[in-house]
Amino acid sequence: MLKGKKIVLGITGSIAAYKACLIVRGLVKRGAEVQVVITPAGKEFITPITLSALTHKPVVSDFFSQRDGTWHSHVDLGLWADAMLIAPCTASTLGKMANGIADNMLVTTYLSMKAPVFIAPAMDLDMYRHPSTRHNMATLRSYGNRIIEPGTGFLASGLEGKGRMEEPEVIIETLDRALDSTPSLEGRHILITAGPTYEKIDPVRFIGNYSSGKMGFALAEECYRRGAQVTLVAGPVSLSCSPGIERIDVESCDQMHAAATRVFPSCQAAVLCAAVADFKPARVASAKINRGAGGLHIDLQPTHDIAASLGGMKQPGQRLVCFALETNDEEQHARAKLKKKNADFIVLNSTRIPGTTFGTDDNQVAIISASGRRDYPKKNKTAVAADIVDELEKVLQ
């Protein structure tokens, strides 16, 4: 899908800039036309001569190339491109893009860009984890930009952790799929549930879990990118989503159940990724329960089984995908859930795999269906979402 596409490749001042050569080469090999825009700091890591030789185009870096009044038009580049990719993107450039600080040609071009923008961050693990970086990335996502999450591995500092720019072949494949001229889920309405539910004990306490909602939001974004009409029913999380996604915010299982059962009849598929509480207090205190001399006893009762409710409502042609988070006997529990919920397939997670599931950026799943089991390697949740939606597309056909 990259043949004939015009790509603006932004390169910033990161040691990962050397990988930009591999990105250029891969894009050109697939038939794309590449125009490099590089920051002054980026030129300290890789030379414009190298990049120009690979792209067969002069590299753009400065606003003015000569002293005769000619200048590089960021507006023209914004109109010319079919996509902009910033790889690598440093923490500094993320901050400038998020806040409109147009002090170099790259950020100015970004602010003029009419085409989709893809961002591949690269930095040390402490910078990546810093609240300001996380905030800037969330802001850029809310603008409609797509973040290609960095991987975990050996970093230039000598440390090991998350912040390593995603590999060039993965970045190219992400662009290739995103620029598919025929959105594969166009005309489909898909329901996604995400995040935890909070079940009140009293006005200040609740029963909940550690779900961040990242997996469900990644699924919603992937379905939306492929052209689907997406309704996202989200529990209490601090995440944002693309403006084109219909978002329904809820707190309790009762609220999520009501929203899901109301929306599902108009959908072709539902992906139930939320970590819904299985139990709730039988009685909710109207005032804060103060510490007493003895212990506190709370009677619990089951919450709604949202998956079973939708499985019972499912009509011919509708598809249902459920998640199973297990601590032991994983496949046995997943297969039982497959039948009980009337699901088309189960996405199996295990708490026994370090660095996955709750609160992490990565996940490792297996897809369980009547036809067998397919295991996937550990990936960031954006890539995992793509694998799950690939499988969803198969069953929708």
Which domains are present in the chain? 6-178 (3.40.50.1950), 189-396 (3.40.50.10300)
Distances (CA, A) of 271 to 23, 67, 229, 362: 33, 58, 13, 19
What span, in angstroms and rounded, lies between the C-alpha atoms of 130 and 152?
Answer: 16
pLDDT, one tens digit for every residue, the chain (397 residues): 788 999 999 999 999 999 999 999 999 999 999 999 999 999 999 999 999 999 999 999 987 665 655 566 778 898 999 999 999 999 999 999 999 999 999 999 999 999 999 999 999 999 999 999 999 998 998 888 989 988 888 888 888 888 899 999 989 988 987 887 667 898 999 999 999 999 999 999 999 999 999 999 999 999 998 889 999 999 999 998 887 899 999 999 999 999 999 999 999 999 999 999 999 999 999 999 988 757 788 999 999 999 999 999 999 999 999 999 888 888 899 999 999 999 999 999 887 777 777 778 888 999 999 999 999 998 888 889 999 999 999 999 8
Which residues does the annotation mark as catalytic? 209
Closest CA to 151 of 185, 134, 128, 130: 128
Distances (CA, A) of 352 to 17, 325, 349, 361: 36, 10, 9, 16
